[in-house]
Structure 1
Amino acid sequence: MPVRGTGTGILLAVVAYGLWGVLPLFFLLLAPAGAVEVVAWRIVLSLLFCAVLVTVTRSWPRLLELLRDRGVMLTLGIAGLLILVNWLVYVFATLSGQVVEAALGYFTNPIVTVLLGVFVLRERLRIAQWVAIGISAVAVIVLAVNYGRVPIIALALAFSFGLYGLIKKRVGARVDALSGLTIETLWLSPLAGGALIAIAATSGLTTGTAGLTQTLAMLSAGVVTAVPLLLFAGAARRLPLAYLGLSQYLAPIMQFLIGVAVLHEAMPPARWAGFALVWIALIVLTIDMFAASRAAAGDARGRATGDAVGPV
């Protein structure tokens, strides 16, 4: 039975992942800024935008309560460092013409999440999940042979984002999306400010000197960062996990198409073979996810029926 608000949830998820999917085109507008300058501005402007949203939504009491919680602050500080790595690697990949490999990282992320569940959370995997992991391992070997190296960008993106999600689970429902992003960027803002000062004192900042389009695009980085995250949070509250898991493939599909069709990145046969193996692994995971979701729903209905006809 569909969850109430599923239609709205699907729309929010599609828009969120669609915006994440076109991020390579946005970051290309920021050239000639390097990855460090882009990410530094992204942190500072995201913090400012979040502060505005916290004010508009009158969320300061909730935020201040979280700021006084040492456990939450430490957890979000670690999460902030992981998302910093993720942002730096992704922007570097985009600006250096490696969008396809970046897309591979986000295709691989669900598989890395399963692996983290095994090694960190000590979860037991179903047979289909082991099959997907095995296929993915073969895919990495094929791609490593093709690239002539391990696909470091893809693995760095997959593991940084996977660990980020794992860390965020520790605070779970206690921290909403807006408060979480506000605190994470607050932790990172001294690093970002220091980086901008260092760049200004050495090579010089490009923002404001590379044309109106680049300047306006850079100034919108906070909005571009926060809006998809907030849309995703709205989708997560309305959608079953299986629907949400399926929608996450939209972003790397769009990134892959941008890399191949728009930016004309090379895709030799061996690379196609590696990607095909990753897609097969994702299909196996997706089928298993829906099967497990249906089985869990059936068990829940069974328990509810048993309760209804039990002794009064």
Structure 2
Amino acid sequence: MSSPSISARPAPDVLLGFSCALFTYLSWGLLPLYMKQVAHVPFAEVIAHRILWALPSAALLLLVMGGMPSMRLALRSPRIIGMATVTALLISCNWTVYTWAVINNRTLDTALGYYINPLVSVLMGVVLLRERIARPLVIAVVLASIAVGILTVQAGGLPWVSLVLPASFATYGYLRKTLPVEALPGFTLEALILSLPAVAYVAWLTASGSSHFGIDATDTFWLIMGGPITALPLVTFAIAARNLRLSTVGVMQFIAPTIAFLIAVFVFGEPFSLTRGIAFGFIWAGLIIYSWSGFVNARKHQTRR
């Protein structure tokens, strides 16, 4: 028996997609500023509260936007629940690494990771979908590989933060597109799945007297704010992906790591050595080639229509 049909996909709304993409990438770019507000809280507790408070935020949006019927259909499908469990684990891995990195003064590593992200998506298309890769994209991937090699030599090991972040998010994006449920019900389902271990962990912290929640008003406020800060951009990201061309989303996603890069260097004062500057130079060169290639292909597509 086939899984239930959640909803027919509406015609693309470009203005809605652009607005959602802009909000998403501005929110993700500014996220390190939020993380610094809770940097004294153990990162596992921060993640648990992001999950717990994201669930009511998403559920409220779901109720207001009339998505409860789709949510009920999704909960009746073991296949959808299984797929959502996989995507939930992937996004929680991404959150964990990102939170740890920012709290531990490695925001530049997160910026590099999200600069690499579109190139990882290209490689996934080649490996998983057997897509043909154009020569400009080959050059971009080679330049990114050189950058990773430079950073590996400098650090004496692979820049794991900069690799895990794009790998986990690109895989999440790929699988999320195959999940037969709209953006908001899909994220709400993911948050519901993740809330089970999060509740258990927070309850254990409370029982052991280690919790920061409810002890200090400022800490409590920022931990609660982690919910909407987490939920809204993920929902708007999924909406943008469904309403914009891949080339448009690909170019706009550079907004977030650029803001994070500027915050890391000029606000947090993270060291930006000559070696790291050279590595970023290779990445930026690759991204220029990547963006130009996408722009040219989009223009050709429009001309043929």
Matching of residues 151-190 of structure 1 within 5 Å: 151-171=159-179, 174-190=180-196
How has the CA–CA distance of structure 1 residues 218 and 78 changed in structure 2, closer, same or farther, with 3 Å as cutoff? same
TM-score (norm. length: structure 2) = 0.91
Deviations 1:161-193 (A, max 9, x none): 01111111222xx32211111111111111212
The CA deviation at 1:234 is: 4.1
How has the CA–CA distance of structure 1 residues 4 and 125 changed in structure 2, closer, same or farther, with 3 Å as cutoff? closer
**Of the candidates 174, 192, 202, which is equivalent to residue 196 of structure 1?**
202
Q: Aligned equivalents of 2:107 and 2:190: distance in 1?
A: 26
Contact 1:131 1:281 in 2 (8 A): yes
**Aligned residue for 1:15?**
23
Q: Which amino acid aligns with 1:216?
A: F
Deviates more, 1:88-97 or 1:53-62: 53-62
Q: Aligned equivalents of 2:157 and 2:114: distance in 1?
A: 19
**Of the candidates 40, 60, 63, which is equivalent to residue 55 of structure 1?**
63
| 2:272 maps to 1:292 | no
The CA deviation at 1:273 is: 0.4
Deviates more, 1:220-229 or 1:271-280: 220-229
**Aligned residue for 1:226?**
231
Q: Aligned equivalents of 2:220 and 2:12: distance in 1?
A: 42
- Unaligned segments of structure 2, at least 5 residues: 1-10
Q: Aligned equivalents of 1:145 and 1:202: distance in 2?
A: 43
Q: Among all aligned residue pairs of Structure 1 and Structure 2, give the percentage whose two residues are the same amino acid.
A: 35
The CA deviation at 1:197 is: 2.6
Residue-pair matches, total: 295
TM-score (norm. length: structure 1) = 0.89
Aligned to 1:204, the other structure's residue is in SS state coil
**Aligned residue for 1:68?**
76
| 2:228 maps to 1:235 | no
How has the CA–CA distance of structure 1 residues 295 and 122 changed in structure 2, closer, same or farther, with 3 Å as cutoff? same
**Aligned residue for 1:96?**
104
**Aligned residue for 1:137?**
145
Q: Aligned equivalents of 1:178 and 1:77: distance in 2?
A: 15
Greater radius of gyration (CA): 1
Q: Aligned equivalents of 2:171 and 2:184: distance in 1?
A: 20
Q: Aligned equivalents of 2:205 and 2:93: distance in 1?
A: 19
Q: Aligned equivalents of 1:183 and 1:45: distance in 2?
A: 14
The CA deviation at 1:290 is: 1.3
Q: Aligned equivalents of 1:252 and 1:203: distance in 2?
A: 37
Contact 1:105 1:157 in 2 (8 A): yes
Deviations 1:251-270 (A, max 9, x none): 00001111111001011100
Aligned to 2:79, the other structure's residue is in SS state helix
Aligned to 2:73, the other structure's residue is in SS state helix
Contact 1:31 1:214 in 2 (8 A): no
The CA deviation at 1:87 is: 0.2
**Aligned residue for 2:33?**
25
**Aligned residue for 2:213?**
207
Contact 1:32 1:206 in 2 (8 A): no
Q: Aligned equivalents of 1:116 and 1:238: distance in 2?
A: 22
Contact 2:12 2:242 in 1 (8 A): no
Q: Aligned equivalents of 1:203 and 1:98: distance in 2?
A: 29
Q: Aligned equivalents of 2:103 and 2:209: distance in 1?
A: 18
Matching of residues 263-278 of structure 1 within 5 Å: 263-278=268-283
How has the CA–CA distance of structure 1 residues 8 and 49 changed in structure 2, closer, same or farther, with 3 Å as cutoff? closer
Deviates more, 1:117-126 or 1:280-289: 117-126
Aligned to 1:22, the other structure's residue is in SS state helix
How has the CA–CA distance of structure 1 residues 290 and 204 changed in structure 2, closer, same or farther, with 3 Å as cutoff? same
- Unaligned segments of structure 1, at least 5 residues: 302-312
Q: Aligned equivalents of 1:168 and 1:125: distance in 2?
A: 22
The CA deviation at 1:294 is: 2.0
Deviations 1:250-297 (A, max 9, x none): 000001111111001011100000011011111111111112222223
Aligned to 2:149, the other structure's residue is in SS state helix
